[in-house]
Amino acid sequence: MGQFSEQIAVVTGASRGIGRAISEKLAAGGATVICADVMDCDETVEAITAAGGRAEGMVLNVTDGEAAEAVIRSITEKHGRIDILVNNAGITRDQLLIRMKREDWRSVLEINLDGVFNVTQPVAKVMMRQRSGRVVNIASVVGLMGNAGQSNYSASKAGLIGMTKSLAREMGSRGVTVNAIAPGFIRTPMTEKLNDDQRDALLKNLAVQRLGEPEDIAEAVAFLVGPGASYITGIVVNVSGGLYM
């Protein structure tokens, strides 16, 4: 019996990187994890199943609000409840503002922020009805500190932090907590574009002298959705090795 046994968790962007690590961590704790991604989540589901856990894959582009409603409806019809939602799907389209294409501004906002609205709204209705639930939004330290070349991405993540705090105030009286995690630089396909010089420059600014691992974020998620965090809501947990303090 793990700490999440009998619980139903939904993780977006679960096919790789941080979303995959979060899915594996929650499944190892006994949750049934619905792994949703714009591509299939076969590898994540296979890894969880091979380890003795329970997982299901769902294809979901979070920018499609109607599809998100349909996916959440099908999960509640099948499982009767949703205990945990982790909004993890996200993209970068980095460029200095003066050179940024309008579509790169829009697509980052559409996936990182509108996408969270699309998935969270139907889930929030389920959680408010059942009078319990945990929502964790994966933001970023650049939503707190800014970063040259990431005005679109940092705007989306700062927006997500504001949304997290507002939703925490809306849902607290119904037994639902809503928190955000602000990762620093985590070793995933998203950051593997860094060259050696960029990596060395980055390490100079870290108190803990290594890039983060997806599992570092999964540990923080597991705490926030676990029984020890029932009085914690509306906060941003900074998991950045001291990149931002």
Q: Which of 47, 67, 91, 203 binds ligand NAP (CB under 6 A)?
A: 91
Q: Which residue in the list 4, 105, 153, 185 is annotated as catalytic?
A: 153
Is 153 catalytic? The answer is yes
Q: Distance between CA 21 and CA 160 in Å, rounded?
A: 21
Amino acid at 9: A
Residues in 99-128 at the binding interface with ligand NAP, rule: CB under 6 A = 111, 115
Check binding of 183 to ligand NAP (CB under 6 A): yes
Q: Which of 10, 13, 221, 222 binds ligand NAP (CB under 6 A)?
A: 13
Q: Which of 26, 124, 185, 237 binds ligand NAP (CB under 6 A)?
A: 185
Task: Return the number of the residue (13 or 159) whose C-beta is nearest ligand NAP.
Answer: 13
Check binding of 140 to ligand NAP (CB under 6 A): yes
CB 143 within 8 A of CB 98: no
In 3D space, the residue among 112, 115, 88 whose CA is nearest the CA of residue 183 turns out to be 88
Q: Distance between CA 122 and CA 114 in Å, rounded?
A: 13
Check binding of 68 to ligand NAP (CB under 6 A): no
Q: C-alpha dihedral over 60, 62, 63, 67, to 10 degrees? A: 50
The stretch among 46-54, 87-95, 96-104, 128-136 that binds ligand NAP (CB under 6 A) is 87-95
Map residue 237 onto helix, strand or coil.
strand
Burial class (CB in 10 A: 0-12, 13-18, 19+), 30: middle
Q: Where in the sequence numbering do the catalytic residues fall?
A: 153
Residue ranges in contact with ligand NAP by CB under 6 A: 12-13, 15-19, 37-39, 60-63, 88-91, 111, 115, 138, 140, 183, 185-186, 188-191
